[in-house]
Structure 1
């Protein structure tokens, strides 16, 4: 319970590239007496590779698995800027861990190709696009495939869109290229409980978005402009990564696409089960 304020700061009043339904779940969970245990699913362990049925090679000095010369880097659960660990933990994966694993795998002589094993609704905007650019610039060094073990939405899709290829299963999804910000206001609840909050500030805009006061029109317009700017960056980045027009990506209006529909729109390259996609990469490597 002691980490609740920290979690709230990372979820509210800050732009997120996350599936809206996931944002609603987070909102409901926090509203329910901040039951943070309900926020994330999974036990934080490394994603198992048994769905590829290849048999993994021991790698005691690595934080990623190497399977038949292919490094498998998990992109799972809720994505955050800095998690401070190389592996997924407590239902989250950090951009810092993905970047570190990617760098190590690119420099690892035992690695012929890299797979981003993605199953995520998205997460924080902060740090996402820098990581996406790192992946995009790494194209050509070694084959990098985004293999969805089900779905990659929003920030997770931004990450896999930078790969050489994106493979989605029949029931998996891509898309949700958009940004959302959840602004909370507790002023009426505070009034009902007889609580008065006095805000002493220097600068007219210093208290914009503070939960204790109603959101002004000027503040809303400013926050909307910030979200629009980040949304434009997201659209332009995906358009670059996938070789699509900005107009086409923007026209999706953050829609999600199931299986083959993602291929039709240009967000994925093929529909395959994860094990089939992995074997396809092996065949391409020869």
Structure 2
């Protein structure tokens, strides 16, 4: 019985030891996917940070998709900066844009990185996403990717005739001449149209100025190629909106070179995935640069007027 007991105990403890090792292994893998980097003294690693989805202050997309927030980008880049084994960063971008303020924050975070940053645009790097990417040390785009969409759009809806036809008498009690500007029960006055056009023009000029400064382009030249146009990666290279075209491996090679890595290099992925909070809570400001209805739909603010303000998409 004693011998049998020893055998049973050996099996039990052996099994427990195996389970502990297995759990530790899984935890290590999960930790790596969430941005925990295996430290190495060699400095031969390129950190890959995926920026895929809408840019916003919330943390879940309109249809449950992923979201890029300034907080998660800052956290990921900080982890890469703190790791002595990481020499450079590759931002894997696939985004149509989003919040203008969040996009500019991410742009500043990229610009302030203590380590070289290369952006690789896989499918889409447009509007706010391109704005953020423009501050990177180098931009590489897939030849067939969609790049650019430097432009501003403000959408409004006039449903006054619909309301009349259906016997709906919609109105408001307001204080302030322009408080119901953009409400869907009436059209804009000439004064209101001019006011909103001025806002759109100002934001458009701001967008062009940022891209011109980041890409070291003449502002008049940037204006001539902006106009809300979408370009392929190949066209964007010819227009100097990106530095080179190629796949992810090519972009990694450039990042490794900028990081001073000679020969082979390692890679590690730092996740920017956040929780499941509602993105709608984040979009208090809707003035932005838009890729247009063909790529994405503008969000509605739900305020007391019905202006469908511009969104980066």
TM-score when normalising by structure 2: 0.65
Cα distance in structure 2, aligned partners of 1:69 and 1:109: 9
Matches of residues 127-206 of structure 1 in structure 2 within 5 Å? 127-138=102-113, 141-206=114-179
1:107 CA displacement? 3.5
Matches of residues 100-111 of structure 1 in structure 2 within 5 Å? 100-111=75-86
* Cα deviation code 1:16-41 (max 9, x no counterpart): xxxxxxxxxxxxxxxxxxxxxxxxxx
Contact 1:132 1:159 in 2 (8 A): yes
1:239 CA displacement? 0.6
1:281 aligns with 2:281: no
Matches of residues 192-231 of structure 1 in structure 2 within 5 Å? 192-231=165-204
1:119 CA displacement? 1.1
Contact 2:47 2:89 in 1 (8 A): yes
TM-score when normalising by structure 1: 0.70
Equivalent residue for 1:259?
Answer: 233
Contact 1:66 1:72 in 2 (8 A): no
- When the two structures are aligned, how many residues end up with a matched partner? 225
1:284 CA displacement? 4.3
* Cα deviation code 1:35-58 (max 9, x no counterpart): xxxxxxxxxxxxxxxxxxxxxx94
Equivalent residue for 1:72?
Answer: 48
* Cα deviation code 1:131-169 (max 9, x no counterpart): 32232233xx10101111222111111111110000011
Of 120-129 and 246-255, the range deviating more from structure 2: 120-129
1:240 aligns with 2:213: yes
Unaligned runs of 5+ in 1: 1-56
1:64 CA displacement? 4.2
1:97 CA displacement? 2.6
Q: Which has the higher contact order (CA 8 A, sep 6+)?
A: 2
1:128 CA displacement? 2.0
Cα distance in structure 2, aligned partners of 1:198 and 1:124: 30
Cα distance in structure 2, aligned partners of 1:179 and 1:98: 25
Equivalent residue for 1:270?
Answer: 244
1:61 CA displacement? 7.0
Contact 1:79 1:123 in 2 (8 A): yes
Unaligned runs of 5+ in 2: 1-27, 39-43, 262-313
Inter-CA distance 100–273: structure 2 relative to 1 (3 Å threshold)? same
Cα distance in structure 2, aligned partners of 1:210 and 1:120: 31
Q: Which structure's CA Rg is the greater one?
A: 2
Equivalent residue for 2:272?
Answer: none
1:217 CA displacement? 1.8
Secondary structure at the counterpart of residue 167 of structure 1: strand
Equivalent residue for 2:93?
Answer: 118
Cα distance in structure 2, aligned partners of 1:144 and 1:205: 45
1:118 CA displacement? 0.8
* Cα deviation code 1:184-237 (max 9, x no counterpart): 232222222211112111110111112222222222211111111111111000
Of 222-231 and 256-265, the range deviating more from structure 2: 256-265
